[in-house]
Amino acid sequence: MKKNDEIRFSDILYGIIKHRVLIIALTIAGLLVGVVLSGISFLRGEMNRQYIITSSFSINAQNESGLFTSGYDFPSHTDITMSEDLAETVSYVLKSDTMLEDIINSLGLLGITTRDIYNNLTLQQYEETQIIE
């Protein structure tokens, strides 16, 4: 191409019209491939796959310096009892709309509501201990 050559819009339009059958055929072929691959994924169950994640954690009542509320670096009976009593409170806070909204925002989840997570999240105290499952 020379330095002064210009491409007119009509030249581009002519090229598109000239190859319109090929453009339409490739568009339809791409659409069909996408539909077939989505159908295969759906039939294999990959689109409806659900995952179950389990974990356990222990609740401990410690202050900012890492000492337990009794003032020692090991838990006393009072600390353990307090932690057991906090299990329900912690479960409530973890399932609160504020906490779930923060989780959704920090993970960047799209199309997920706090209700979706709340309905699929189970938290329970393990045998009246300070452990939540």
Q: What is the CA 118 to chain-centroid distance, rounded?
A: 13
Q: 65-110: per-residue pLDDT in tens? A: 878 877 778 888 888 888 888 888 888 888 999 999 998 899 888 8
Please report the pLDDT score of residue 1 as a whole number.
55
Model's pTM, two decimal places?
0.52
Q: 45-55: per-residue pLDDT in tens? A: 666 666 777 88
Q: 12-41: per-residue pLDDT in tens? A: 899 899 999 999 999 999 999 999 998 888
Residue whose pair of structure tokens reads 């490739």 in the numeric block: 26
Q: Are 62 and 68 in contact (CB under 8 A)?
A: yes
The domain spans of the chain are 9-43, 57-132
